[in-house]
Amino acid sequence: MDKKIPNKTKVVVIGGGVVGCSVAYHLAKFGWKDTILLERDQLTSGTTWHAAGLVSQLGPSAAITKIRKYSLDLYKDLEKKVDHSAGLRLNGALSIAQNKERWQELLRQATTAQLYDVDVRVLDKDQIKKDYPIINTDEILGGIFMPGAEAPKLVTKDMIKLMKRGSVIVDVAIDQGGCVETSKPTTHGDPTYIVDDVVHYCVANMPGGVPRTSTLALNNATLPFLVKLANKGYQKALGEDKNFLAGLNVHKGDVTYKAVADVFGHEYVDPNSVV
């Protein structure tokens, strides 16, 4: 349905991307009611759509870091106010330095970020190697780490509200943060809680409730592969079984698992080419 555009207004915002929407939002927040936003298509369907999800926290200056921190806090606050998930997820990041200039830049960014309560940690090369053994730290001076990397939220708050009363969610990914937006870690002593009439079971280390059974089950599942490796050698064992080969992560310094290569910024090598 076409909406009539007024003949005059105090403010006209052209473009309904992240910048235009932010301007209109903040003007309204500060009491400017005579504001019109014009968008030829759907909101955020232009350049903003191509950059969706890029919410960085660190900046080259204190001003930019402060703005980014404010933006992140705003997205979190809006989710609570409107009771609607924006799909915000903090993935985390590790930035490393291989020369003194880059190292000084990262330290300066970390110091600035900490002033604005951004969770950032300075790591030396030994800590990086401990947390990320796959990284070659021979030429690394240090790095800064921003926590994150939780399991993706596959079930949102809005989806929970659509579920039938008395439904049960068992989030087996809770050890990595959970794949349900309303999940939070529980214990074997107090395993469940209710959100929007939906029962949540989110016990961390669920197999710990039946340790002997779970250990036997894991051994039974993995032992045949170990026997195959021992009897045939890894090259023949992997070469004969494509599914087995798909689990190869690293081979003689080459990263042969694409997800691992992408996360740590290494070149991906097809496992079929090395075995």
What is the C-alpha to C-alpha distance for residues 17 and 26, in angstroms, rounded to an integer?
Answer: 14
- pLDDT confidence of residue 201: 94
> What pLDDT, in 10s, does the model give residues 10-22?
889 998 888 888 8
Average pLDDT over residues 79-96: 76
pLDDT tier at 147, thresholds 50, 70, 90: confident
* Tokens, residue 262: 């992408």
Judged by average pLDDT, the poorest of 39-48, 97-106, 155-164, 184-193 is 39-48
Q: Which two tokens stand for residue 219?
A: 């051994």
Q: What is the DSSP letter of 22?
A: H
Based on the number of CB atoms within 10 Å of its own CB, is 203 exposed (0-12), middle (13-18) or buried (19 or more)? buried
pLDDT, position 130: 81
Give the separation between CA 118 and CA 112, rounded to whole angstroms: 9
DSSP 180: B
For residue 142, what are the β-bridge partners?
Answer: 97, 124
**Each residue's pLDDT tens digit, 167-215:** 999 998 887 678 888 998 898 999 999 999 999 999 988 888 888 998 9
Distance from C-alpha of 23 to C-alpha of 15, rounded to nearest angstrom: 10
Burial of 2 per CB tally in 10 Å (0-12, 13-18, 19+): exposed
What value does the mean pLDDT take over residues 18-45?
88
Q: What is the DSSP code (8-state) at residue 240?
A: H
Q: Phi and psi dihedrals of 144, rounded to 5?
A: -125, 140
- Report the predicted TM-score, pTM, of the whole model to 2 decimal places: 0.46
What amino acid occupies position 131? D
Backbone dihedral angles phi then psi of residue 184, each to the nearest 5 degrees: -150, 145
Q: What is the pLDDT of residues 259-274, one digit of tens each?
A: 777 766 788 899 888 8
Confidence of residue 149 (pLDDT cuts 50, 70, 90): very low
pLDDT value of position 263: 61
Instruction: Give yes or no for a contact between 186 and 202, defined as CB atoms under 8 angstroms apart.
Output: yes
The secondary structure element, H or E, covering residue 201 is strand 198-201
**Separation of alpha carbons 102 and 94, rounded Å:** 14
Confidence of residue 9 (pLDDT cuts 50, 70, 90): confident
Q: Measuring CA to CA, which residue among 77, 95, 79, 205 is closest to residue 153?
A: 79
pLDDT tens digits along 109-140: 888 877 777 788 899 999 888 877 778 889 99
From 39-53, 67-81, 152-166, the region with the lowest mean pLDDT: 39-53
Considering only CA atoms, which of 253, 275, 273, 249 is closest in space to residue 262? Answer: 249
Provide Rg for the chain, Cα atoms.
Answer: 25
Query: Residue 83 in contact with residue 157, Cβ under 8 Å?
Result: yes
How would you classify the pairing of strands 168-170 and 198-201?
Answer: parallel
Distances (CA, A) of 178 to 20, 200, 231: 34, 11, 39
Token pair belonging to 37: 């936003």
Query: What pLDDT, on a 0 to 100 scale, did the predictor assign at position 140?
Result: 92
